[in-house]
């Protein structure tokens, strides 16, 4: 009694394609039909690439018939619109790139395509990945499939919503401060952010270069393992990608959780955490403990400073990264500029939304003469202290577990007026970015009908421990099978 | 300069490194291509692209560091210098700031008094060049060509050790000759591969603290460096002597008017917001790498100069000139190896005749129409008394004009020196007979007239008689 | 192999870097002039209502990040990068062909292969 195609995970679909139960064209058509039916309400897509997807699906079917094709042959997925895709609109959620057709592919896009993946479209996101609610997108907010009045989180909100609503079995995302894990938690999906340097950043439009990392949003950790194996690896076009062996992540799936040492950070259960969310997470930890994992208390004295640290470092880097959008070689250009200065100021003033401008200005300020030491340098020092907290913790534990987000999804519009409240959404996730560590969020319950995520962080190159722990948890519970009512 | 004032100059020299591809991308660095045909996605600062460092620039910077007796940093860091300008595609220039690849170097120049003077090199760092703006024929617009964007530069910063425009030029020439010896830059100033900014200030002689400096931008010839600095020194002294203050500013040298003027654009309190480039990691260089580079270093100008003086016994000023470029020094040594002529005589000929002709024709030694072997062939004929030095000039002119080797020309033109003493004696007799008055005067003690007789004999022989022999025979006969 | 960073304090001492803890007074909040200056430096034109909102929100952000001053960072080396590894180098080879026409399809204004901007005055 095979479930409908859109309800199947990537791993199940791979098996179905392999056994000839259905073709990639049939699968792709079914999903494109769902996108057509539902995306009007969800706004998860900026661009749907139906024609290209069907052509790729046909090619995948032919390859399979010829006994060829990569590990993802014929499997559909969607890309966050931050990844450059050749000859396809790539907006990064911004008016600035409203008409930008990339002349090249991101390495991640190439790798997935080479493995046979079929791309259904490009997903909506916070503008330049700056936001935690998807409300900063120039293309309108994404709705949470669990409740259309709620935010799916951000910045990879379109990817998370598309996977949660069963419009696509998997999506790429990027995570600078929690942008994969937080929307995954808020939509009941699995979100994996690998170790910094694990996946190439080439072709991924930069927000904060020392924090950005590409990852995936899926419906199971097994699917995340499958995709990571394809995406990971050294790229000669990215100096910060690391030449570190890529294991077969799916082998981690068969390892039991027995004996795994799980660190519980007391600061992660402080006053800022919603009570019901905290309860769901504690119950999840109890499930893991009951199955042989050891819970160990961990103290991270500097972790409370991770959000202010992040909101200095990330804006500093973004202020510089976004200088290239000047209306000269690509992107929005103001009409009839009076002079060069006017061209710059108006092109950028019109092309960027309010949150992007705020972050660019914050970053400009913290790097400027007289403030550099007090803010930027200080933040990089505190960053070191936070990273050391993690490294010390990983001398005693294999993974660190806690909540992904302090609350379940919030109503659209609720936090837009207060940047600080919005920034505090990232309180449990930014630490991993500051230290370059891998993290995963997997569904662990519901609060008032909205999903809650369990957050796991591992040491550098510790993806296997994360996948092992999350996968075991998923086998012991069925939260990740839960589907929003209107999308079953 | 005016004796009451001391001039303080520091130079920032930008040498384009002679790599095939750019510092952070695989686009070509070849000069003169159609606009934007050598600007790839990385050079254009496209969204999502990343820089990857060219190994050759690190190698070249290390060579330079060793050549100027500097520290090659075991760890150096690229930083972003943030400012908006249309020829700067990313809105920041990737450069090195706090941790440059080369620090604490030195070189020696000959100062205005002819003494050797040490000039400190504060640092040399790697950075990317910007593009170019053109303004011709585009109406209210400027056109941006980014072919040059991303070309590797080594910025070499001197200590404020230079005390005159002449010293500044001597220092710049020295750097120029070093980078060309090392083969790390073509040093082509017309194409902008070697350019210089000068920081200039004056202070009352004896005062310890520096005066306010101005920065003179983009001085792209040795002559302009000297003229611009001299103009600026005069201007600053005038300002101060008129009771004014020198304003710290950036000034452009206008070669047509021979003056400097403040730059009109930007500089509204530039705040470059340097920070470490998160797209690049620290460059680490170990001792083994440095030793390997050291082993491949060519002989440098100073060492070569000393060797020329010591081994060949030539004059220091000739050694200076002959070692300004590796190819000239090589040419000289090729001649030495092939001729029986004395090294100083070879130097005289190369520095005098050959370089004179090359300069006149606007050619470099590489383009000399007369090869080193050919020069040796000519000098051999002087050495073996086949021709005189004077006739040699005539032969050289013919060689330059492509009329053949020295021997061929001597033969064809019948320029062979008369060394047969009976033939010379006959002519001497003839001259003595024709000039009885001068002979009497000579005999009466007017020794100087010997020159007159030599001249007459040379005239009779068409310059082909050996002057030494003529002299000797004349003295005998008049004796 | 784990590319774990040495601890901040260790690195500070090992590299002889001294970032003496200067108890700098954190500037609190921003005024309109400062925000205007930042907007110029960042080349951003803000509409009037946007400007007022920006002054308010930027001030709140700056006040928020001011809590960093609490941290004792004596002898801690700034961490610019999450991994303690060295730059990898590429061979000096020309690998990028001329694709000007394709790259300029995204350009708002070009002529004769040049990108056009309002006249630049030096």
pLDDT tens digits, residue range A134-192? 999 999 999 999 999 999 999 999 999 999 999 999 999 999 999 999 999 999 999 99
Q: What is the pLDDT of residue C29?
A: 81
Q: Which CATH architecture has domain B421-478?
A: Orthogonal Bundle (1.10)
Q: What is the pLDDT of residue C6?
A: 37
Residues of chain B under the 70 pLDDT cut: 1-2, 264-269
Q: Kindly list the residues from chain A whose CB atom is less than 8 angstroms away from the CB atom of residue C78.
A: 377, 380-381, 383-384
Q: What is the pLDDT of residue C4?
A: 36
Is A179 part of the annotated catalytic residue set?
A: yes
Inter-chain CB proximity B143 and C111 less than 8 Å: yes
Is A102 part of the annotated catalytic residue set?
A: no
pLDDT > 70? residue A2: no
Q: What is the pLDDT of residue C22?
A: 40
Q: What is the pLDDT of residue C8?
A: 39
pLDDT > 80? residue C2: no
Strands B141-145 and B53-54: unpaired
pLDDT > 70? residue A348: yes
Q: What is the pLDDT of residue B77?
A: 97
Q: Name the token pair of A222.
A: 């097994």
Q: Going along A272-420, which residue ranges are E strands?
A: 294-298, 399-403
Residue A302 lies in a domain: no
- DSSP letters, A205-226, are PPSSTTT-EEEEEESSHHHHHH
Residue A261 lies in a domain: no
Please identify which of the residues A155, A220, A241, A405 carries the catalytic annotation. Answer: A155
Q: Name the token pair of A231.
A: 């995406």
- The rounded distance, in Å, linking the Cα atoms of B61 and B57 is 6
* pLDDT tier at C113, thresholds 50, 70, 90: very high
Tell me the residues of chain B between 115 and 144 that have a Cβ less than 8 Å away from chain C.
Answer: 133-135, 138, 140-144
Residue A104 lies in a domain: yes
pLDDT > 70? residue A333: yes
Structure confidence by residue, pLDDT tens digits, B199-225: 999 999 999 999 999 999 888 899 999
Facing residue for B84 by CB, picked from A100, A238, A323: A323
Which chain B residue lies closest to A209 (C-alpha atoms)? Answer: B278
Q: What is the pLDDT of residue A402?
A: 97
Inter-chain CB proximity B82 and A100 less than 8 Å: no
- DSSP letters, A406-474, are SSS--BTTSSTT-HHHHHGGGTTTHHHHHHT--EEEEEEEEETTEEEEEEEE-STT-HHHHHHHHHHHH
Q: How many CB pairs under 8 A join A and B?
A: 98
Q: In this complex, is the C-beta atom of C43 within 8 Å of any C-beta atom belonging to chain B?
A: yes
Q: What is the pLDDT of residue B79?
A: 98
Domain-by-domain residue ranges, chain B?
A: 5-291, 299-413, 421-478
Tell me the residues of chain A between 301 and 340 that have a Cβ less than 8 Å away from chain C.
Answer: 302, 305, 308-309, 311-312, 319, 323, 326-331, 333, 337-340
* pLDDT tier at C9, thresholds 50, 70, 90: very low
Q: In this complex, is the C-beta atom of B94 within 8 Å of any C-beta atom belonging to chain A?
A: no
The residue with tokens 């470029």 is B325
Distance (Å) from the alpha carbon of A63 to chain C's nearest alpha carbon: 30
Q: Which domain holds residue A183?
A: 5-256+444-451+479-487
Q: What is the pLDDT of residue B265?
A: 52
Q: What is the pLDDT of residue A479?
A: 95
- DSSP letters, B341-371, are S-HHHHHHHIIIIIHHHHHHHT--GGG-SS-
User: What share of chain A has pLDDT > 90, as a percent?
Assistant: 96
Q: In this complex, is the C-beta atom of C114 within 8 Å of any C-beta atom belonging to chain B?
A: yes
The mean pLDDT value of chain A amounts to: 97
Distance (Å) from the alpha carbon of C66 to chain B's nearest alpha carbon: 20
Hey, of C11, C90, C95, C121, which one would you mutate to test binding to chain B, going by the most B CBs within 10 A of its CB? Answer: C90
Inter-chain CB proximity B278 and A209 less than 8 Å: yes
List of residues 6+ apart from A250 with CB closer than 8 A: A222, A225, A226, A229
DSSP reduced 3-state for B419: coil
Inter-chain CB proximity A205 and B47 less than 8 Å: yes
B283 pairs with which residues across the strands? B76
Is-contact B94 B57, C-beta < 8 A? no
Compute the radius of gyration of chain B from its Cα atoms. 29
Domain total in chain A? 1
CA distances from residue B430 to B436, B456, B474 in whole angstroms, order as listed = 11, 10, 11
* pLDDT tier at A117, thresholds 50, 70, 90: very high
Q: Burial of B463 by CB count in 10 Å (0-12 exposed, 13-18 middle, 19+ buried)?
A: middle
Q: What is the pLDDT of residue B268?
A: 53
Inter-chain CB proximity C82 and A373 less than 8 Å: no
Residue A395 lies in a domain: no
Is A200 part of the annotated catalytic residue set?
A: no
Please identify which of the residues A23, A24, A80, A347 carries the catalytic annotation. Answer: A80
More confident call, B390 vs A283: A283
Q: What is the pLDDT of residue B412?
A: 85
Structure confidence by residue, pLDDT tens digits, C38-52: 999 999 999 988 999
Residue A282 lies in a domain: no
A214 pairs with which residues across the strands? A174
SS3 per residue for A393-407: HCCCCCEEEEECCCC
- The rounded distance, in Å, linking the Cα atoms of A459 and B31 is 48
pLDDT > 70? residue C16: no
- The rounded distance, in Å, linking the Cα atoms of A104 and A225 is 26
Domains and CATH numbers, chain C: 25-70 (1.10.20.60)
More confident call, A319 vs C2: A319
Is-contact B201 B134, C-beta < 8 A? no
The CATH number of the domain holding residue A214 is 3.90.1300.10
More confident call, B12 vs C2: B12
- C-beta neighbour count of A153 within 10 angstroms: 35
Q: Going along A176-317, which residue ranges are E strands?
A: 190-193, 213-218, 261-265, 294-298
Tell me the residues of chain A between 213 and 272 that have a Cβ less than 8 Å away from chain C.
Answer: 236, 239-240, 242-244
Residue A316 lies in a domain: no
Is-contact B186 B193, C-beta < 8 A? yes
């Amino acid at each position: 009694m095979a479930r409908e195609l859109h309800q199947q995970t990537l791993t199940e679909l791979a098996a179905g394609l392999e056994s000839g139960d259905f073709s990639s064209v049939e699968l792709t058509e079914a999903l494109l039909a769902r996108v057509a039916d539902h995306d009007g309400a969800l706004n998860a897509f900026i661009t749907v690439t139906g024609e290209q997807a069907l052509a790729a699906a046909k090619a995948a079917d032919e390859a399979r018939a010829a006994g060829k094709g990569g590990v993802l042959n014929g499997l559909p997925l969607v890309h966050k619109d931050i990844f450059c895709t050749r000859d396809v609109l790539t907006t990064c959620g911004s008016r600035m790139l409203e008409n930008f057709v990339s002349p090249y592919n991101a390495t991640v896009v190439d790798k997935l395509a080479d493995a046979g993946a079929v791309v259904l479209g490009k997903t909506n996101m916070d503008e330049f990945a700056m936001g935690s609610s998807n409300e900063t997108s120039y293309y309108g907010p994404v709705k949470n499939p669990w409740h259309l009045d709620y935010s799916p989180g951000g910045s990879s909100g379109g990817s998370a919503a598309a996977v949660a609503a069963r419009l696509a079995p998997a999506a790429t995302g990027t995570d600078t401060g929690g942008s994969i894990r937080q929307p995954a938690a808020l939509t009941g999906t699995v979100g994996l952010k690998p170790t910094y340097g694990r996946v190439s950043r080439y072709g991924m439009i930069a927000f904060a270069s020392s924090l950005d990392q590409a990852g995936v949003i899926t419906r199971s950790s097994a699917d995340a393992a499958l995709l990571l194996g394809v995406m990971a690896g050294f790229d000669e076009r990215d100096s910060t990608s690391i030449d570190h062996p890529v294991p077969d992540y799916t082998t981690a799936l068969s390892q039991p959780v027995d004996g795994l040492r799980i660190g519980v950070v007391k600061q992660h259960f402080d006053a800022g955490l919603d009570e019901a969310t905290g309860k769901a997470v504690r119950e999840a930890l109890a499930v893991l403990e009951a199955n042989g994992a050891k819970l160990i208390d961990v103290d991270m004295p500097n972790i409370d400073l991770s959000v202010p640290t992040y909101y200095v470092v990330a804006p500093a880097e973004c202020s510089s990264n976004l200088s290239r959008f000047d209306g000269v070689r690509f992107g929005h250009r103001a009409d009839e500029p009076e002079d060069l200065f006017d061209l710059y100021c108006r092109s950028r003033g019109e092309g960027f939304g309010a949150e992007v401008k705020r972050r660019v200005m914050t970053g400009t300020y913290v790097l400027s003469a007289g403030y550099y030491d007090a803010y930027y340098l200080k933040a990089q020092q505190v960053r070191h202290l936070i990273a050391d907290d993690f490294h010390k913790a990983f001398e005693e534990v294999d993974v660190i577990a806690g909540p992904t987000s302090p609350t379940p999804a919030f109503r659209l519009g609720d936090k837009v007026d207060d940047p600080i409240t919005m920034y505090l959404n990232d309180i449990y996730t930014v630490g991993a970015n500051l230290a370059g560590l891998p993290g995963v969020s997997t569904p662990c319950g519901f609060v008032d009908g909205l999903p809650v995520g369990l957050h796991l962080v591992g040491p550098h190159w510790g993806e296997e421990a994360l996948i092992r722990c999350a996968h075991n948890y998923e086998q012991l519970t069925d939260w990740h099978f839960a589907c929003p009512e209107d999308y079953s | 300069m005016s004796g009451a004032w001391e001039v303080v100059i520091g130079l920032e020299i930008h040498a384009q490194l002679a790599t095939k591809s750019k510092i952070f991308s695989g686009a070509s660095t070849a000069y003169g291509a159609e606009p934007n045909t050598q600007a790839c996605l990385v050079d254009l600062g496209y969204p999502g692209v990343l820089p990857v460092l060219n190994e050759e620039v690190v190698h070249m910077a290390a060579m330079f560091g060793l050549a100027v007796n500097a520290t090659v940093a075991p760890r150096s860091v690229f930083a972003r210098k943030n400012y908006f300008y249309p020829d700067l595609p990313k809105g920041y220039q990737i450069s090195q700031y706090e941790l440059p690849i080369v620090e604490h170097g030195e070189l020696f120049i000959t100062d205005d008094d002819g003494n050797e003077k040490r000039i400190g090199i504060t640092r040399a760092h790697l950075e990317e060049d910007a593009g170019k703006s053109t303004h011709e024929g585009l109406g209210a617009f400027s056109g941006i060509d980014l072919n040059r964007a991303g070309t590797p530069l080594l910025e070499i910063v001197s200590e404020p050790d230079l005390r005159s425009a002449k010293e500044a030029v001597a220092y710049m020439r020295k750097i120029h000759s070093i980078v060309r010896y090392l083969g790390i830059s073509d040093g082509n100033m017309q194409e902008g591969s070697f350019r210089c900014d000068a920081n200039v200030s004056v202070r009352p002689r004896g005062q310890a603290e520096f005066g306010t400096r101005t920065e003179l931008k983009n001085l792209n010839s040795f002559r302009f460096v000297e003229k611009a600095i001299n103009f600026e020194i005069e201007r600053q002294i005038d300002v101060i002597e008129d009771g004014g203050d020198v304003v710290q500013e950036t000034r452009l040298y206008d070669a047509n008017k021979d003056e400097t003027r403040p730059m009109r654009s930007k500089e509204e309190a530039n705040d470059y917001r340097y920070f470490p480039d998160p797209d690049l990691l620290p460059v680490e260089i170990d001792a083994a790498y440095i030793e390997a580079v050291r082993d491949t270093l060519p002989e440098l100008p100073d060492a070569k100069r000393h060797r020329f003086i010591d081994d060949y016994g030539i004059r220091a000023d000739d050694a200076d000139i002959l070692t300004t470029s590796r190819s000239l020094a090589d040419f000289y040594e090729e001649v030495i190896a092939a001729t029986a002529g004395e090294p100083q005589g070879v130097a005289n000929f190369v520095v005098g005749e050959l370089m004179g002709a090359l300069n006149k024709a606007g050619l470099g030694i590489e383009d000399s129409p007369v090869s080193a072997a050919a020069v040796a062939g000519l000098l051999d004929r002087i050495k073996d008394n086949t021709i005189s030095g004077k006739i040699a000039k005539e032969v050289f002119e013919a060689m330059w004009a492509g009329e053949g080797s020295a021997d061929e020309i001597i033969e064809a033109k019948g320029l062979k020196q008369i060394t047969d003493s009976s033939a010379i004696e006959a002519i001497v007799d003839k001259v003595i007979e024709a000039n009885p008055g001068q002979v009497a005067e000579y005999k009466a003690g007017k020794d100087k007239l010997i020159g007159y007789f030599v001249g007459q004999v040379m005239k009779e022989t068409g310059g082909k008689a050996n002057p030494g022999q003529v002299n000797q025979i004349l003295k005998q006969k008049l004796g | 192999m784990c590319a774990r960073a040495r601890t901040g304090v260790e690195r500070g001492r090992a590299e002889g870097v001294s970032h003496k803890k200067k108890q700098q007074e954190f500037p609190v909040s921003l005024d309109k002039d400062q925000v205007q200056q930042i907007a110029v430096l960042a080349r951003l034109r803000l509409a009037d209502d946007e400007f007022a909102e920006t002054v308010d929100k930027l001030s709140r952000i700056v006040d928020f990040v001011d809590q960093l001053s609490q941290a004792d960072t004596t002898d801690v080396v700034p961490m610019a990068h999450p991994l303690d590894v060295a730059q990898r180098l590429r061979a000096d080879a020309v690998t990028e062909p001329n694709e000007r026409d394709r790259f300029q399809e995204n350009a708002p204004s070009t002529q004769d292969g040049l990108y056009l901007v309002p006249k630049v005055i030096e």
